[in-house]
Structure 1
Amino acid sequence: MIRHAFAAAALFASAPLAAQSTTQEQLDDRYDRALAAGYKALFLCSAIANAERNGTTRTPESVAQWELTGIQAPLDELVGDMPYQIARDGDGELANVSVTWADGMRPRMAVHNSKMGCSQLPIDGVPVPIVTKRPALATGHAPVVAPQGALAGSFSQAFGEAYGAGTRTTAVLAMRDGALLGEAYAADFGPAVPQRTWSVAKSIAATLVGTAVQRGEADVAKPAGLGLFVNDRREQITVDNLLRMASGRYSDTPGNRTDPLYFGGSTVEETALHWPLVHLPGTVFRYANNDTLAAVKAIGASLEDHPPAEFFSRLGMHDTVAETDWRGDYILSSQVWSTARDLAKLGQLYLDEGVLGDGTRILPEGWVEYVSAPSGPQPDGSFGYGAGFWLLNKSEGVPADTFAAMGNRGQFIVIVPSLNVVIVRRGEDPTGSRFDIAAFTRDVIENMAN
């Protein structure tokens, strides 16, 4: 009787499991459509609104050609056919972008705030009125400085496939001793046209942590405020662990893509802060968006008084915007929009040891060495890792002190302290294509002398 009872229970249990498998597939397909619609809404909003903020323009067709192609599957197969609508306010400023994705559900929507860029609402979220004053548009962008001599050849090759099959370069720039040696742009881009930095934002985040340390408002050696109680080992995770991608926390995908936050309209709080510990802090390298997001959250009080916009203004990065989730937390693992010229200014700050042109120190003494030292556990592969920056210490023919900010789709700021050089490359490389930044760096350095 007992055996028959177990058999009957197993039979009844098997039917819901089979149905659940089908339902899960349907749920996954539906969720993918929601993510694709959120991706499209956010990129249309940010690319167009942030370009207009800088006094230039992007068209939906341009965004579709560059930002909305070559993205990860299955979103790449979905975004193209999704209907969108761009709404503007009475002054003609972009207010929001909505994208239809499912019957009976509100469109996915990204809303624009003149001061903070674009943020996407949660799935089926309802917009609330945003009242902001349009900032003064950036003006007086200097003409493009064409590269000369052999440097022009390296730049020209960057716009082909010499540094990677299938790569798509949008901008390259080289600077030495604080002087712009040359820059070049794809047809839809230019000095005032911003792009999403992707993970170059992690290096911006590390820099903002440095400014908080310099003000005495943060200490990288202290706990980052994670964990729930004294018996929670996550309480021992330091800001340094987070900047070095060594928190020891679990992440559910290689590279920790955080799709729910980036494209799904979730928040930093619900996405990044509560993952469990699987290694002792400081013992294992695991590249994770969540670690950078947690490091930024740890200095949240400092950023309230000294927001990223203040930092950008002090550096003259007037064409750069750090965007947030819909609750106002900065997504400084990825969601910053900036230009090649502005990113070069960030690189120059590191060449200047964290001191502004007027002599004001905004990064602590030794911060350059801190972010560029492989003091934590190291990744496998071609590059080392410091604190928020990648290291080219394994790259043949590149000065050993070279370090870089690197981001998805081919975003790079290469900093070479021994040569006083900054190199910027922007791109919209499709998934599966990789720009060889080490080879490009070697060629640019060599051709600077010719």
Structure 2
Amino acid sequence: MKKILSLILVLVALGIGVVVYIYYPRLNLITGFAAKNMCSCVFEADRSVKSVVLQDNNFDPVNYAEYEVNDKEAWATATVFGLKERKAAYYPGLGCVLLPEDLDKTAFLETRPNRIQSHIAKPYPYGHEKPHDTSFAEVKMPQLEKALQNAFFEEQGTRAIVVLYKDHLLAEKYAEGFSERTKFLGWSMTKSITSAVLGVLEKQGRIALDERDLFLEWEKDQRSEITLENLLHMNSGLEWEEDYTKISDVTQMLFLAQDMARVQLENPLVAQPGTLWNYSSGTTNLLSGYIRDRFSSQQEYLDFWYSGLIDRIGMHSMTLEADLSGNYVGSSYSWATARDWAKFGLLYLRKGNWNGEQILSEAWIAHTIEPVEGSSGHYGAHFWLNAGGSYPDVPRDLFSANGFQGQHVFVIPSKDLVVVRFGLIEHPEFDLNIFLREIVAAVE
């Protein structure tokens, strides 16, 4: 019996050793992701530690992490076999921020955004009152309900779906443990929020798409030729590696950098601006830095994203998370309810007009959904497109904000539809073509 026990212990030790050997170079990133996601899910989305461990952080290699969560001081730490502890701390109004290894939660980020969150006495989606109970003769409700049910089978990983049709809440459904009050992380859907904030600035005449000489650091080299449009189109020509499976530009930025706007700022050109499409989260955080430079104070920068766009359309549940330098992480970190994310889609469905107020110009919307050369019809200005037929059984005019693990805000102008989906499984494992085809078929 002792020999068997000793053998088991040896095998366990060997197993741990193999895991550490394989993952040690990436432990900083693994524990960084684990701590940051745990902190945000608990303190921003009001989720339980157990649910985050079993669901959100339950994938290889993040599932090796062990946690400590301090409710009183609002922080979370993560380690793997006791190694590479990382801490993320919660700052009200700015979400959870991953701290450097050698620093504890201190007086960082003292400036917080001011929010004007007045109750709008209109039915949802244009207000905060109960939505109208509306029926449409052309909508086959049993068929629509079946489409939503199909998306909620256990292996589909869906957490929330909201469908807007002709400015009305047509249907919504939530997985157990989630509701219309649950805040969801948009991941890269945040990129589309960043694009919209730039659209507000453009509508106000404060920026222009053909601007050059965007940063002082670029004034003496070819990077001065990069335009704002190049950044929005992801074809700046700047070096960037968007690979989440290893130590790369994007993982180092999200889990090691204190000022995420500077990571892409400091990269060299590898192609002429406008000639190479290359998806880059660093570019979006660089745009967040560009927006910051448009304001004379940090307070104005923090406030504008809400006063100019988010609170202006009643997305009061939304929180934009910041990095340690106080920049909004425009590439990846924004939280809101599924209903509020649907409002964002409705703003674009209505060509920038929100209940009679033109917040984004129609020209900006048109530019947003024009395919970028080199993207095979799949990308516009920080929105994804169906012009290239990614979803062959869905109208080609569909465009969307997309995020990691299958977060989506779909806008289908020809069908007067906004479809929001949140989950943990993404296309093609969760077949978006089938999902969207079934919903569209129910309203034809």
Range into which the TM-score falls when normalised by the shorter chain: 0.7 to 0.9
Distance 2:237 2:428 in 1: 30
Question: CA, structure 1 residues 135+308, in 2 after alignment: closer, same or farther (shift >3 Å)?
Answer: closer
What is the aligned partner in structure 1 of residue 293 from structure 2? Answer: 301
Residue of 396, 402, 405 corresponding to 1:406: 402
Number of residue equivalences = 400
What is the aligned partner in structure 2 of residue 112 from structure 1? Answer: 90
Quick one: percent identity of the two aligned structures? Answer: 28
What is the aligned partner in structure 2 of residue 446 from structure 1? Answer: 441
Structure 1 residues 115-154: aligned runs within 5 Å: 115-129=93-107, 148-154=141-147
Structure 1 residues 216-254: Cα deviation after superposition (integer angstroms, max 9, x where no partner): 221121126247354411111111111111011111344
What is the aligned partner in structure 2 of residue 239 from structure 1? Answer: 228
What is the aligned partner in structure 1 of residue 254 from structure 2? Answer: 262
Gaps of 5+ in 2: 1-18, 120-127, 135-139
What is the aligned partner in structure 2 of residue 21 from structure 1? Answer: none
Residue of 98, 118, 126 corresponding to 2:77: 98
Q: TM-score, normalised by structure 2?
A: 0.81
Distance 2:93 2:293 in 1: 19
What is the aligned partner in structure 1 of residue 150 from structure 2? Answer: 157
Superposition deviation, residue 159 in structure 1: 1.3
Q: Indicate conservation of the 8 Å contact 1:34/1:123, yes or no.
A: no
What is the aligned partner in structure 2 of residue 86 from structure 1? Answer: 70
Question: CA, structure 1 residues 206+88, in 2 after alignment: closer, same or farther (shift >3 Å)?
Answer: same
Superposition deviation, residue 264 in structure 1: 3.0
Distance 2:150 2:117 in 1: 34
What is the aligned partner in structure 1 of residue 186 from structure 2? Answer: 197
Q: Indicate conservation of the 8 Å contact 1:242/1:292, yes or no.
A: yes
Distance 2:199 2:98 in 1: 29
Question: CA, structure 1 residues 397+429, in 2 after alignment: closer, same or farther (shift >3 Å)?
Answer: closer
Amino acid at match of 2:101: I
Superposition deviation, residue 353 in structure 1: 1.6
Report the 3-state secondary structure (helix = DSSP H, G, I; strand = E; otherwise coil) of the residue aligned with 1:122: coil
Q: Indicate conservation of the 8 Å contact 1:198/1:335, yes or no.
A: yes
Residue of 313, 318, 321 corresponding to 2:319: 321
What is the aligned partner in structure 1 of residue 44 from structure 2? Answer: 50
- The answer to whether residue 312 in structure 2 is matched with residue 333 in structure 1 is no
Question: CA, structure 1 residues 27+120, in 2 after alignment: closer, same or farther (shift >3 Å)?
Answer: farther
Distance 2:141 2:88 in 1: 42
Distance 2:441 2:305 in 1: 35
Question: CA, structure 1 residues 397+49, in 2 after alignment: closer, same or farther (shift >3 Å)?
Answer: same
What is the aligned partner in structure 1 of residue 29 from structure 2? Answer: 35
Superposition deviation, residue 340 in structure 1: 1.1
Distance 1:83 1:238 in 2: 44
Q: Indicate conservation of the 8 Å contact 2:162/2:173, yes or no.
A: yes
Report the 3-state secondary structure (helix = DSSP H, G, I; strand = E; otherwise coil) of the residue aligned with 1:175: strand
Q: Indicate conservation of the 8 Å contact 2:159/2:422, yes or no.
A: yes
Question: CA, structure 1 residues 202+183, in 2 after alignment: closer, same or farther (shift >3 Å)?
Answer: same
- The answer to whether residue 269 in structure 2 is matched with residue 277 in structure 1 is yes
Superposition deviation, residue 133 in structure 1: 11
Question: CA, structure 1 residues 134+263, in 2 after alignment: closer, same or farther (shift >3 Å)?
Answer: same
Question: CA, structure 1 residues 275+265, in 2 after alignment: closer, same or farther (shift >3 Å)?
Answer: closer
Distance 1:337 1:346 in 2: 13
Superposition deviation, residue 195 in structure 1: 1.8
Q: Indicate conservation of the 8 Å contact 1:309/1:322, yes or no.
A: no
Question: CA, structure 1 residues 284+250, in 2 after alignment: closer, same or farther (shift >3 Å)?
Answer: same
Amino acid at match of 2:71: A
Question: CA, structure 1 residues 226+190, in 2 after alignment: closer, same or farther (shift >3 Å)?
Answer: same
Q: Indicate conservation of the 8 Å contact 1:312/1:318, yes or no.
A: yes
Structure 1 residues 310-341: Cα deviation after superposition (integer angstroms, max 9, x where no partner): 22111111111110101101111111112211
Q: TM-score, normalised by structure 1?
A: 0.80
Question: CA, structure 1 residues 419+58, in 2 after alignment: closer, same or farther (shift >3 Å)?
Answer: same
Gaps of 5+ in 1: 1-24, 52-56, 90-94
Q: Indicate conservation of the 8 Å contact 1:145/1:182, yes or no.
A: no
Q: Indicate conservation of the 8 Å contact 1:171/1:184, yes or no.
A: yes
Report the 3-state secondary structure (helix = DSSP H, G, I; strand = E; otherwise coil) of the residue aligned with 2:236: coil
Question: CA, structure 1 residues 426+354, in 2 after alignment: closer, same or farther (shift >3 Å)?
Answer: same
